[in-house]
Amino acid sequence: MPIETDNHLPEWRPIPKIGESDMEGDKGVDPDDNAPGGEQPIFRPHAFALSHGKDGAKVAYGQFLWRIDTLIIELSSVSAGPSSTPTVLGAGQDAISGLNVRVPTINSPFGDAMDPAIPNIYHQLVGYGDVYLYWTTDLDAVDAEDNHVPANRVDACWVVVGGDRAEDELDAVDATSSQTGFDRTDTTTGTYCPTADQKAGTYRVKLGTVNEDEEIIQDHSSDVFWSIFLLKRTGGHACTYTPP
């Protein structure tokens, strides 16, 4: 911060070195000390920071941020006129929503949620190795009060060493000329309704690697953000309709 001098020209106060402070009792530590048994900082480190722990890796508090936008294409009915091929009548977009936040759990989708409070900076994981953040999405996810609440569509998020499966992405949706009604969040079933694999998926991102007595490899050092959009087709028929 600038301080006044006799000649009224500001001078800049030097940045304190590690271990120094202008406040009595405020003692810093080396924030880069990742060695096993090293000192822990008195501030919260960056999101998903990795460290050595007891018989396994440790991970700092982080958040999973996500949003889903929807584009709407309105098509004519496939039975209108002499042709069975629909035409585009218009396009629009659902309201643009804000960010949804999910706090990951530890070691499994059913583990304890991360705690952001200091000094509970790091959370113990089981074992050493590659550390991943997993999340699952279910576009049919609902709650007891309202149907298709967007905040429910990421239904699990957790940090784990290793993992028993890799990405299982939402399946692709083919473009057809006979299908006027299609919405991945549709809970009905029928000839042209979305399949289960087009509505649920599992994703992951590698946070880094922690091995015993080895230097930590940090591949990701911030909150994780995931943004997707859905294409919704509307028209004269629901997905249960079978063209003649």
The Cα–Cα gap between 62 and 68 comes to 20
Residues 6+ apart with CB under 8 A from 48: 59, 60, 62, 133, 159, 207, 220, 221, 222, 223, 224
Q: Is the pTM of this model over 0.85?
A: no
141-179 tens-digit pLDDT: 765 555 556 667 888 999 999 977 667 888 988 877 777
Q: SS3 for 197?
A: helix
Peptide bond into 86 cis (omega under 30): no
Average the pLDDT over each of 114-123, 144-153, 176-185 and give the range with the smallest value.
144-153
193-203 tens-digit pLDDT: 888 899 899 99
State the DSSP string of 88-130: EEEEEEPPPP--EEEPPEESSTTSPBP---TT--EEE-SBSEE
